[in-house]
Structure 1
Amino acid sequence: MNDPNKRAIIKVGVREWGANLVCFQETKIEVVSDVIVRSVWRGSWVKYDWVSAAESAEGILLMWDDRSLEVKEIKKGVFSLATLVKDRVSGVEWGFGGVYGPVGEGSKVFFWEELANMMGEWDIPWVLGGNFNTIKFLKEKLGCSLISRAMEDLSDFINDHFLIDLPLSGERFTWVRAEDSNSRSRLDRFLISPSWDEPVPNVLQIPLPRLTSDHLPILLDGCRGRGVCGTFRFENMWLKVPGFGDKVKEWWTSYGVSGTPSFRLSQKLKLLKEDIIRWNKEVFGRLEVKMRELMHELGELERGEGARELDESEKERLGGVKKEIVELVIAQETSWRQKLRTI
């Protein structure tokens, strides 16, 4: 997170994955600024808070979309950042805890105590997510054959707090040591309260392509299979594109719709939405399509890497895809600056 080039790549993922709450661990940043946050997630509605890397295990950054989520209260610890969240649509309140577990065995007892105290702050459904820096089962670490105290502590914590350990769709590991692909573990996970699953059914834990880290990003997705999350959202960035306002006026006056005033308005809005979506694909879509293709290929290669040793051509292609993503990010930024006349 302290590298501007990495943040530019992360921004692509944040935009592509469409989350309304994003948590980063191991930021290595002591003071988070508006500039840093806007370089990852741009928008006046993006709010954030953080635990400094000077005060915690490498730092935690939490960002959220204030249009859909109201963060009513925040509690900070050494290993965690907890928030009391209210969904602005449903009114449901729940707690989110972003965590970064210590590596050293001596600190883990304080880690579990902190998480237990955190969950005791509010009597609400909870979601805990992050790098716990330990595994739960032997199969979650390549070549592991001995049950450790840390594994037992994680299992005890889950059982004591009646949490659900969601399965990870399509992946076995979330971390791979960069210099040794045989070192693999599932260190990252979401844990949820059973009552949180009631208002958000069909929730899935989905691994995403590894962009800049040796850890896989994970998406907690409550929308899969329900067909209700793909809503149209007007983007303020469109207003900054030269000629967009004139196009909207041209489209609006071209619609010939008969009926009552309310019917004409609703139908013209539907037609306008279709034209804007089509225009957005033409203006911004070419780079986005290529980015989606690269992200898909990156995910496929990483899933292969998680299951077996890649051959030399696959390793070369993996490096090439990551390089192409970086180049495309630069191209997107350049395109934006040209369109918005900020150069």
Structure 2
Amino acid sequence: MKLNTIDMNNLGLTEEFIQEAKSYKDLFIGRVTSQYKNLYKVMTENGEMTAEVSGKFHYRVKDFSEYPAVGDFVMVDRTDDSQGNGIIHCTLARRSVFVRKSAGSKEDIQVVAANIDTVFICMSLNNDFNLRRLERYLAIAWDSGAIPVIVLTKSDLCKDLETKLNEVAAIALGVEVLVTTSTSDEGYQSLNRFLSNGKTIAFIGSSGVGKSTLINCLLGQEVLDTNGIRNDDKGRHTTTRRELIILPNRGVVIDTPGMRELGVIRADLSKSFSDIDELAASCRFNDCTHKNEPNCAVQQAIKDGRLPAERLESYWKLKKESKYEGLNSKMIEKEKISEMFSGMGGMKNARKYIKEQGRKKRR
């Protein structure tokens, strides 16, 4: 088979991954495109092949989230499966990862997509419209390391578009909002400027909001199965598992199944609730919980109508779920950094790492 039939750079392979891969002799780099039970589809320079993890990999894994996920770059023992399934020996370090708590589980973390540059948070402008759910998506997306973009779908079904846009703008602080419809050729063009060689975009959202339909529009052909709107104005569930799809010379997109539950493991509340953080700076007490303390700027904003009470309730709920209850924004960031670098010597090495990264950026 002819080598270099797949443009690995367009697939998202960066110099950072290439350098890391050099430490694994006699292995080849590939990217996970889909998974079904214990089998994976991995794209290498020679095309897509079926692969499974090695026995040693199984033995090393301590947590379900450490197994390969769609979007991961992995090291495999071959570049095609003409001689049998490939064997995945390790996963390269993730640059970003969108995770959620596994449905019905208190412990397991489910990796939705790895090594993504942009998260398209898709929400339809019909009965799926839910601001509280959108806040959850944004909190997880900001924490993933990727850039969130809100994609409002099925605008042709919305009778009060301006009202809904204003409601979204009030909670989507610092996030771009796109309005789309699949009923016209112009209805999805705004997505195209986020596509480029080597970039990875994950489509995240509830069942039936039109994720697969939008991807088909970008591809210019019906690659993914879709179903129409049901009588109750909700979309039918179509995507059954995560799948990475290549757009020639325009990077890759990851289609994900609809999520009925979005359990929070980690969240970036400082970005997703920056309005509350800004108000909190004017509270009388630095550790104000915004509940019963005197001179609370957040409670005052609610009384004045500048902040919806539901938004503060959502903030408290996400804080509790992500185990940050009782911590202010600075304490949360310290906690996240300590957890991130726990295996590297904690905060001391974290500060050293951050300084080194800062020097690299200034060069």
Normalised by the size of structure 1, how large is the TM-score? 0.28
Q: Of Structure 1 and Structure 2, which has the larger fraction of its residues in helix?
A: 1
Larger RCO: Structure 1 or Structure 2 (Cα < 8 Å, ≥ 6 residues apart)?
Answer: 2
Normalised by the size of structure 2, how large is the TM-score? 0.27
